[in-house]
Amino acid sequence: MKIKLNENFKNVSESYLFSTINKKVAEYKEQNPNAPIIKMGIGDVTLPLPKIVIDAMLKATREMGEIDTFRGYPPEWGYTFTKEAVQKYYKNYNVSLTLDDIFISDGAKTDVSNILDILGHNEVYITSPVYPVYIDSNTMNGNSIHIIEGNKGNRFLPLPVGLDNSAKVIYLCSPNNPTGASYTYDELKMWVDYAKSTGSLIIFDSAYEAFIEDKNIPHSIFELEGARECALEIGSLSKSCGFTGVRCGYTIIPANLEINKIWKRREATKFNGVSYVTQRAAEQALSPEGVKACQENIAYYKRNAKALAECFDELGIFYTGGHNSPYIWLECPNGMKSWDFFDFLLTKANVIGTPGVGFGGEGYFRLTSFNTYENTLEAIERIKKVLKK
Amino acid sequence: MKIKLNENFKNVSESYLFSTINKKVAEYKEQNPNAPIIKMGIGDVTLPLPKIVIDAMLKATREMGEIDTFRGYPPEWGYTFTKEAVQKYYKNYNVSLTLDDIFISDGAKTDVSNILDILGHNEVYITSPVYPVYIDSNTMNGNSIHIIEGNKGNRFLPLPVGLDNSAKVIYLCSPNNPTGASYTYDELKMWVDYAKSTGSLIIFDSAYEAFIEDKNIPHSIFELEGARECALEIGSLSKSCGFTGVRCGYTIIPANLEINKIWKRREATKFNGVSYVTQRAAEQALSPEGVKACQENIAYYKRNAKALAECFDELGIFYTGGHNSPYIWLECPNGMKSWDFFDFLLTKANVIGTPGVGFGGEGYFRLTSFNTYENTLEAIERIKKVLKK
């Protein structure tokens, strides 16, 4: 074949993170077949969908089997009933959205990467450590990427300090994956003000907002004045409602922005909308009763996160997250590198986590709260045992 | 906002086709409130999903509500069980696929447009009249588009005659939307040979293959020798299984092609897989029992198409489709232009169709087989009445 390919793919770094982890664990298991391994690297929810959501899906499925209630192509931008559910959900945070601001997606990952279709080649600013999709999708698009470093000094919450005044595309994720760090209103306001004054666009990833409990942490960037002039928000039901296998998210692009119209055209051409059954599930999950049910699952994960945080408090190890987040991001003890600590925990405590270097954070390590409470407590006991002097 | 936007969107022509139709119909209805209008422009399936598919969806939904059977993130390229179902389905056509050739998508529209992400800026050849997504997505990508004209002379099946020898990207859709015209093995072989000899890529859209009944029409381009070196195929369950509201398709990219690896990377970064419930529905719809049930729906639509074809045979009006396709594409009688014939049918027969000019075929008109049998017969009676001399 002689056609031209997208040469930018050659610059996308292959991620061997999880395959390397799997390989190391398999090797260890072969040598230690009875090792009671606990996986604390799980990045996916583990609790089933609440009954109220299942019931909505069953009802919608039955409708698809009857001629009078069968539904064909969904609207590309989402059913009105789903958009209204998102609209009402945002009212919980005192954010007023019009239905025109809201797009229903098959997941945050899809929209946070496809959004580049409607943009030109801008300078892209990405805080690090980071969800690899921002970097990889921009690399595929041939964009010039600048890393804004998160570190112990800024508690992994870099601020717009020392940046030039050119218009740029800025990715922010709060509560952050992988660090769990969350911007306060005051901090996020600095970003909104900076974006407004420079004509920049903030792509705000709110996938973990349902884990927030502190009053001074915004759930949506649109809680901040001025955000409607400079931001779009990518929302997900994956972690908030356990929808990782159901596939539904939403994207908020203020209708006052020109990119709203362009995104509409993009979606009408390159997307055919989200499954009817899934949208009925989302409608129910975002309702007051649905949110209550989903929050019970989140409370379970947060209890795990809290136990992990208390463990590292006790050990005197620096970390972010563990609070307002399912993740805890810790400094590897004794100056260990990420992979060295991975090997240490695997062999000494039979606990598996994720080396921070895989997200761009050498010397750090991510543990998650998606295992059972019992396993989490057992993992904590073992971690304490091997790390206590 | 001062960031750069994708300027190519300025070149995407706004399609007012269906909004203009709706406006004209609304105006007519206002003046003639009791007119017994029959819609023969429907481009979406209307019959409900077969029970066997609904049962699979109900079972999968219940699994999502139990901790032992809950499923999180699906594999980005599809569950093995869905890929195996596609693999077996292709065996019906004597096509051998490896699981690595198969990608499960949320619909043909998504993949047929997103595929451009992995290609460079090639010369793009599109047969016309055409499904507007090919042209619009290439325009958004800034590609140079060449139209290969379908017309009465080539029965809307243009062949690679008189084209230069440069490597190009070629879109083929057979059975075609909107013309219903279908390439025979011999004709499609000419395209495969041309693509192979020039190093071109054929993007073959097989969305309507389940409507084929003639033995000399291929269901898949991979039935042809050499296609694995020069083609990819976009498949859909929308029309074959009534999945327009369920959202599932599949894309076949031979694993021997470099683009297979690049597409894998694209999907792993920019897509999070298809809903578990949807994939269980697809698995069942593609099984022998599922195909049998889905074919009952298709038989219903095909009876409508056949009745339409017989009507225009009787009237001596040239058409394509009506056979191997849910569409019938007819030459407007008496040299009428597409919109004039639209107005004529609306006002004289209270029948609504779609002006061919909306797909790039001035002087032609599309009728579809997705209304009820009774309405189709009634529409045919009226059409005969107003067109018989």
pLDDT, tens only, A149-203: 999 999 999 999 999 999 999 999 999 999 999 999 999 999 999 999 999 999 9
The neighbouring-strand residues paired with B331 are B364
Measured between beta carbons, which residues in chain B are less than 8 angstroms from residue A75? none
Q: Do B65 and A48 touch (CB under 8 A)?
A: yes
Q: Return the number of other C-beta atoms located less than 10 Å from residue B143's C-beta.
A: 18
CB distance A68 to B46 below 8 Å: no
What does the alpha-carbon distance between residue A59 and residue B317 come to, in Å, rounded to a whole number? 46
Where does CATH 3.40.640.10 sit in chain B?
51-289
Task: Classify domain B15-44+291-387 at the CATH topology level.
Answer: Aspartate Aminotransferase, domain 1 (3.90.1150)
Structure tokens given for B26: 């609304």
Question: Tokens in use for B286?
Answer: 């593609």
d(CA B139, CA B154): 26
Q: How many CB atoms lie within 10 A of CB A180?
A: 29
Alpha helices (H) in A44-122, listed in sequence order: 51-63, 80-91, 108-114
Q: How many CB atoms lie within 10 A of CB B33?
A: 7
| Chain-chain contact of B120 with A6 (C-beta, under 8 angstroms) | yes
Q: Residue A334, class by beta-carbon neighbours within 10 Å (0-12 exposed, 13-18 middle, 19+ buried)?
A: exposed
The SS3 assignment for B366 reads strand
Report the Cα A180 to chain-centroid distance in Å. Answer: 10
End-to-end CA distance of chain B: 62
Question: Is it the case that residue A15 has pLDDT exceeding 90?
Answer: no
- Split at pLDDT 50, 70, 90, the class of B40 is very high
pLDDT of A341-387, one tens digit each? Answer: 999 999 999 999 999 999 999 999 999 999 999 999 999 999 999 99
Question: What token pair was written down for A333?
Answer: 């003890």
Place of tokens 């996020």: A188
CB atoms within 10 A of CB B215: 7
pLDDT reported for residue A13: 84
What was the pLDDT predicted at A199? 98
Q: Which of A71, A199, A270 lies closest to B1 in CB terms? A: A199
Phi, psi of A65 (to 5 degrees): -100, 0
CATH hierarchy code of domain B51-289: 3.40.640.10
Per DSSP, B148 falls in state E
CA distance B251 to A193: 44
Q: Are B272 and A247 within 8 A, CB to CB?
A: yes
CA-closest candidate to residue A103, choices A207, A254, A206? A254
Question: Rounded to whole angstroms, how far apart are CA atoms B306 and B313?
Answer: 10
Nearest CA distance, B241 vs chain A (angstrom): 11
**CB distance A44–B72 less than 8 Å?**
yes
SS3 A231: strand
**Does the beta-carbon distance from A72 to B244 stay under 8 Å?**
yes
DSSP strands (E only) in A310-381: 319-321, 327-331, 351-352, 354-355, 364-368
> Chain A contacts of B48, Cβ < 8 Å?
64-67, 69-70
Secondary structure of A20-54 in HEC code, one letter for each residue: HHHHHHHHHHHHCCCCCCEECCCCCCCCCCCHHHH
Question: Does residue B389 have a pLDDT over 80?
Answer: no
- Please tell me the predicted confidence (pLDDT) of residue A108: 97
Best to test chain A binding among B59, B119, B247, B262 (most A CBs inside 10 Å) = B247
Distances (CA, A) of A275 to B206, B234, B237, B239: 21, 19, 13, 15
Contact between chains at B245 and A120 (C-beta distance less than 8 A)? no
Q: In this structure, is the dihedral angle defined by the CA atoms of residues A185, A220, A298 and A42, taken in order, positive or negative? A: negative
Backbone angles phi, psi at A143, to 5 degrees: -85, 155
Residues 340-379 of A with CB under 8 A from B: none
Distance of CA B203 to the CA centre of its chain: 13
Q: Which of residues 101-130 of B touch A (CB under 8 A)?
A: 106-107, 109-110, 113-114, 117-122
Contact B120 A5 (CB under 8 A): yes
Report the distance separating Cα A274 and Cα A278, nearest Å: 7
Please provide residue B235's backbone torsions phi and psi, each rounded to the nearest 5 degrees. -110, 160
Give the pLDDT mean for B351-378.
97
Residues of chain A with pLDDT > 90, as a percent, come to 97
Which one of A114, A196, A270 would you mutate to disrupt binding with B, by most B Cβ within 10 Å of its Cβ?
A: A270
Please say if the pLDDT value at position B316 is more than 90: yes
Cα A239 from chain centroid?
Answer: 8
Rounded Cα–Cα distance for residues B302 and B322 (Å): 8
Share of chain B above pLDDT 70, in %: 100
- Contacts of residue A26, defined as CB under 8 A and 6 or more positions apart, other chains included, come to none
Ranges of beta strands (E only) in chain A are 38-39, 102-105, 123-128, 144-149, 169-173, 201-205, 231-236, 249-252, 319-321, 327-331, 351-352, 354-355, 364-368
A45 part of contact set with chain B, CB < 8 Å: yes
β-strands B144-149, B169-173: how paired?
Answer: unpaired
Identify the closest residue of chain A to B111 by CA–CA distance: A270
pLDDT of residue A16: 78
The whole-number pLDDT of residue B226 equals 98
pLDDT level of residue B248 (50, 70, 90 thresholds): very high
Least CB–CB distance from A270: residue in B46, B110, B266: B110
How far is the CA of B167 from the CAs of A43, B12, B140, B197, in angstroms? 43, 25, 21, 9
CB-nearest to B70 from A3, A48, A270 is: A48
What is the tens place of the pLDDT at every residue in A249-301?
Answer: 999 999 999 999 999 999 999 999 999 999 999 999 999 999 999 999 999 99
pLDDT on residue B382:
98
> Where do you find CATH 3.40.640.10 in chain A?
51-286
Phi and psi angles of residue A118, each rounded to the nearest 5 degrees, phi first: -95, -5
Q: pLDDT tens-digit profile of B111-165?
A: 999 999 999 999 999 999 999 999 999 999 999 999 999 999 999 999 999 999 9
Percent of chain B with pLDDT over 90: 97
CA distance A379 to chain B (A): 21
Instruction: Determine how β-strand A354-355 pairs with β-strand A364-368.
Output: antiparallel
Q: Which of A131, A166, A247 should be substituted to probe chain B, the one whose Cβ sees the most B Cβ atoms within 10 Å?
A: A247
Thinking of the domain A14-43+291-387, which architecture would CATH place it in? Answer: Alpha-Beta Complex (3.90)
* 3-class secondary structure, A322: coil
Q: Is the pLDDT of residue A334 over 80?
A: yes
Residue in chain B closest to A134 (alpha carbons) equals: B269
Residue A142 confidence class, pLDDT cut points 50, 70, 90: very high
Cα B32 to chain centroid distance, Å, stands at 34
- Residues β-bridged to residue A126: A147, A171
Residue A5 β-bridge partners: B119
Which residues of chain A neighbour B140 with C-beta distances below 8 Å?
A: 117, 266, 269-270
DSSP A192-219: HHHHHHHT-EEEEE-TTGGG---TTS-S
- Average pLDDT of the segment spanning B280-299: 98
Taking contacts as CB-CB distances below 8 angstroms, the residues of chain A near B79 are none
* Candidates 3.90.78.10, 3.40.640.10, 1.10.3720.10, 3.30.470.20; CATH matching A51-286: 3.40.640.10
Average pLDDT, chain A: 97
**Interatomic CA distance for residues B6 and A141, integer angstroms:** 12
Token pair belonging to B349: 């027969």
Residues of A in contact with B4 (CB under 8 A): 119-122
A–B CB contacts, 8 A cutoff, strictly below = 248
8 Å CB contact between B349 and B383: yes
- From the list A53, A54, A65, the residue facing B49 with the nearest CB is A65
Nearest CB to A12; choose among B119, B265, B276: B265
Which pLDDT does position A156 carry in this prediction? 98
Distances (CA, A) of B153 to B160, B320, B367: 15, 12, 21
A12: which chain B residues are within 8 Å (Cβ-Cβ)?
265, 269
Residue intervals of chain A classified under CATH 3.90.1150.10 are 14-43+291-387
Average per-residue pLDDT in chain B? 97
pLDDT at B318: 98
Residue A147 vs residues A130, A169, A306: alpha-carbon distances, Å: 10, 12, 30
User: Could you say which residues from 265 to 304 on chain B have a Cβ atom under 8 Å away from some Cβ of chain A?
Assistant: 265-266, 269-278
Residue B212 tokens read as: 């084929």
For the record, the structure tokens of B384 come out as 């005969």
Residue that the structure tokens 């309405």 belong to: B375
C-beta contacts of B131-139 below 8 A and 24+ residues apart: B131/B173, B131/B177, B131/B178, B131/B205, B131/B359, B132/A269, B132/B15, B132/B359, B133/A269, B133/A270, B133/B109, B134/B171, B134/B203, B136/A269, B136/B12, B136/B13, B137/A269, B137/A270, B137/B112, B137/B113, B139/B8, B139/B11, B139/B12, B139/B13
Angle in degrees, CA B71, B76, A22, rounded to 5:
75
Residue in A65, A120, A269 nearest the CB of B48? A65
Contact criterion met (CB below 8 Å) for A146 and A126: yes
Tokens representing residue A285 in the block: 């999950």
- Which residues in chain A (159-188) have CB-CB distances under 8 A to chain B? 167-169
Question: Which residues in chain A are contacts of B57 at CB distance < 8 A?
Answer: 61, 64, 277
Neighbours of A161 (CB within 10 A): 9
Structure token digits, residue B214: 């003639």
Give the whole-angstrom CA distance, residue A372 versus residue A42: 11
**In angstroms, what separates the C-alpha of B82 from chain A's closest C-alpha?**
15
pLDDT grade for A14, boundaries at 50, 70 and 90: confident
Positions of CATH 3.90.1150.10 in chain B: 15-44+291-387
pLDDT tens digit sequence for B297-315: 999 999 999 999 999 999 9
